[in-house]
A and B are shown apart, each in its own frame.
Chain A
Amino acid sequence: MNSETLKGHLGGMLLAILERGPRHGYSIIESLRASSGGQFDLPTGTVYPALHRLERAGLIHAHWDENGGRKRRVYELTAAGQRALSTERESWRDFSAAVTTLLTPGLQTATS
């Protein structure tokens, strides 16, 4: 999928992945790939700025974790992030339903 198309939804997708539990950067990227069956092929380096943006907005929280001599930043969803994810899901459902109606042949006339 085109990376520009993805960027608009990246925040919501990252929140959805962190809903499953705290994760560090690489684990988030892997989950993003695995959950989309390899469809979401963003340049990996662009995911990190998006995580920092969500952190600043208070939607996720990060802390440093040292394991095996390697420092990793672990991200987790905040209560505000959980609420934002619910809102994102709702608006995506409405949006995708509207687009499906418009793009599916015959569906538009059938519903009108």
Chain B
Amino acid sequence: MTHEVISGSVQVEEAVATYLREVADNLPGLSRNRVRIVTELRSGLLDAIEAHQRSGDPDPSEAAAVLTDFGEPRQVALAFGPELATMQARGTALILMASGPLIGLLWLGAALSSHIGAHLAPPLDWSWLATRAHLARPTFALVATAVVFAAIFTVASAAIFTFVSTGRVNRWISVPPRLSAAGAVVACLGAAAADLSILTVLGFQLWTDPTRLSPLPVAMAAVASAARFTLARRAAGSCLKVRATLA
């Protein structure tokens, strides 16, 4: 595409805006990252055009040449793809690493406040060990607890890998952005699985013996897990989309 700059600052601004819109339309990832990049490119373009005009080259076609010189909008956007994918993966990993312990503490608080000194609430309810007669409950509790801990391990290791691989380690080794994005997807899916498992355990507990639960702490933990489940699923989809734009 050619960028026709006719004359005067309004036309130049319009041509720049059209160019940047094309870049923005092709930039993958989160909108806040895209806005930051477009703001930077805008100042770079206007600086370049002004420098041409100051050097006594008021020919409008020269301003258009600056846009052409900048590169095809689609190509410029593609060049940002790996960086945007890496930034998104890193941000996602950071949020998961921060929210994980917080949600863990909420569940621990819910467990302790429900049955301090007696039977712990999910996922720490091991009372089934003493009541072997109720086979359905122990099997369910065992499987659910195993799933929760496996998911927590997956989230932690994938999030740490993603965070490390998108940081300063790149001074020495270049980690492919697709790999980091995949790490973020795994971490998100692990978080969603952990939340879903623990909410299922809670549902089972509510169904079988709701009186053992302390309502407020359990409700707070459940809301936090439900919110993270929704956000983690969305983040996984978003990271997958960005990853798909990389060659």
Contacts and interface: CB of A to CB of B under 8 A. Distances in A.
Nearest to B73: A45
Interface in B1-59: 23, 37, 39-41, 43-44, 46-48, 51
Contact of A49 (B48, B80, B90): B80
Contacts, number: 84
Interface string A65-85: 000001111000000100010
Interface stretch (B94-102, B162-170, B201-209): B162-170
Contacts of A80: 168, 171
A59 interface: yes
A58 interface: yes
Contact of B167 (A44, A56, A70): A56
Nearest to B77: A45
B76 interface: yes
Contacts of B82: 49, 53
A25 B43 contact: yes
Which of B51, B83, B90, B167 gathers the greatest number of chain A CB atoms within 10 Å? B83
Contacts of B86: 56
Contacts of B41: 45, 48
Interface residues of B, number: 29
Contact of B79 (A29, A45, A56): A45
B70 interface: yes
A5 to B, nearest CB: 17
Nearest to B49: A26
B75 interface: yes
Interface string A28-54: 011000000000000111101100110
A11 to B, nearest CB: 10
A70 B80 contact: no
Contacts of B40: 25, 48, 71-73
A30 B54 CA distance: 14
A25 B80 CA distance: 15
A49 B79 contact: yes
A44 B68 CA distance: 9
A57 interface: yes
A88 to B, nearest CB: 11
A41 B44 CA distance: 16
Q: Which of B69, B75, B87, B166 has the most CB of A within 10 A?
A: B69
A29 B44 contact: yes
B117 interface: no
A96 B111 CA distance: 66
Interface of A: 24-27, 29-30, 43-46, 48-49, 52-53, 56-59, 70-73, 80, 84
The 7 A-B pairs of least Cβ separation, nearest first, read A45-B76, A43-B71, A26-B47, A45-B71, A25-B44, A44-B70, A58-B168
